[in-house]
Amino acid sequence: MLKQAEQAGARIVKAARGCGVGRILGLFCGSGWVPVGSGLESRFRSDMKNGTPNTGVLDSLRPATGLGIKTHDVGHGRFTMITGSCHCGAVKYEIHGTLLMFAYCHCPDCRKYTGSAFSSVLATNPKVSRFVLGEDHLVEYQSSPGKHRFFCKTCGCGIYLRAEHRPGMIFVRAGSLDDDPHMKPQAHFWTSVKAPWHEISDSLPQHSEGLQQR
């Protein structure tokens, strides 16, 4: 197994030179090898500097199939790394971890903000999201009490929403993703106030209001 890990590690170190740690981890998972354990970030950074995967990193790699993990599967508790950006490229972000939900929102705020019948949003934990470029380009707009929307000040592209009553979640605009989240929309929310000229034609569950507040 160590020899196989060495081969996978060598290929990825070569491909990921100059990339961020999140991209490196994503490349490992995409190759079918999942890093397991703590202290991986410093060891990956060392590898990128030296150009050779060290023994500590190789020892942490396990075949994804052996752990019952499908690579790039974003189901509950499984690893994922996806990237996104604004239209002009001034803002770039990465999500490392679990996607909690993928939904369509038909509330008036989302319709006005996007200029369309509904918005497509991915919910994730803010602790697993980070900006790799242009966080200072983000402008905050409070569309309603307690709801803060963030968009690029140059191109106006919406990136995410933060709701004060849900401190453990942020809602990322799915249209800003650069990668396939390997997850499909699961439901419609706020259908009681949807655009009167739009008919929902799929079979996804429909909720007249938003997520229940906890």
Q: How many CA atoms lie within 13 A of 70 on its CB side?
A: 5
Residues 105/186, Cβ–Cβ less than 8 Å: no
The whole-number pLDDT of residue 152 equals 95
User: By the 8 A CB rule, do 96 and 81 touch?
Assistant: yes
Output Rg (C-alpha) for the chain, integer angstroms: 19
How does pLDDT run across 111-121, given as a tens digit for each residue?
999 999 999 99
Of 134, 171, 172, 130, nearest to 153 (Cα)?
A: 134
**Which amino acid belongs to residue 169?**
M
Q: CA 156, CA 30: separation in Å to the nearest integer?
A: 32
Identity at 78, one-letter amino acid code:
R
Share of the chain above pLDDT 70, in %: 61
Choose from 14-28, 36-50, 126-140, 174-188 the range with maximum mean pLDDT. Answer: 174-188
Q: Which of 23, 13, 24 is nearest to 49 (CA)?
A: 13
Q: What is the pLDDT of residue 15?
A: 55
Nearest Cα residue to 110 out of 155, 165, 161, 152? 161
Which of 104, 102, 82 has the alpha carbon at shortest distance from 92? 82
Lowest mean pLDDT among 42-46, 61-65, 185-189: 61-65
* Structure tokens given for 199: 């008919």
Pairing outcome for strands 33-35 and 206-207: unpaired
Mapping DSSP onto H, E and C, the string for 92-130 reads EEEEECCEEEEEEECCHHHHHHHCCCCEEEEEECHHHEE
Q: Which residues have C-beta within 8 Å of that of residue 142, sequence separation ≥ 6?
A: 148, 149
Give the pLDDT score at 183. 86
Segment 142-199, tens digit of pLDDT? 988 999 999 999 999 999 999 988 888 899 999 999 998 888 999 999 999 999 999 9
Cα 12 to Cα 122: distance, rounded to the nearest angstrom = 28
CA distance 59 to 6: 9
Q: Give me the pLDDT at residue 166, please.
A: 86
Is pLDDT larger for residue 35 or for residue 170? 170
Position 34 confidence tier, pLDDT thresholds 50, 70, 90: very low
